Amino acid sequence: MDVVRRLSQEILVKYPGMFGVDFKANKEQLAKVAVIHSKMMRNRIVGKITKTMIAAASEGEEEEAETEDEAKTAE
């Protein structure tokens, strides 16, 4: 497994709810919980975390839209 993917998943599991869809805010949050000396590695990890959070947010929006559509058709 890719190191960046593995580390980002471990961080998201260990600190749920700490990260969002904003890259800069996620970079600040990561600095609070991990010491990563390489700027490139830190940015890759934060990018993967941000990408995962955006995907989760858009997935949640799709589920809400499906629920609303089902409610409208039931009426």
Please report, for the domain that includes residue 64, its CATH number: 1.10.60.20
**Is residue 13 predicted with pLDDT exceeding 80?**
yes
> Which pLDDT does position 61 carry in this prediction?
75
pLDDT digits (tens, 9 = 90+) for 28-52: 999 999 999 999 999 999 999 999 9
Q: How confident is the model at residue 71 (pLDDT cuts 50, 70, 90)?
A: low
Range of the domain at 26: 3-74
> Which pLDDT does position 59 carry in this prediction?
83
Give the total number of structural domains in the chain: 1
Tell me how far apart the alpha carbons of residues 40 and 37 are, in angstroms, rounded to a whole number: 9
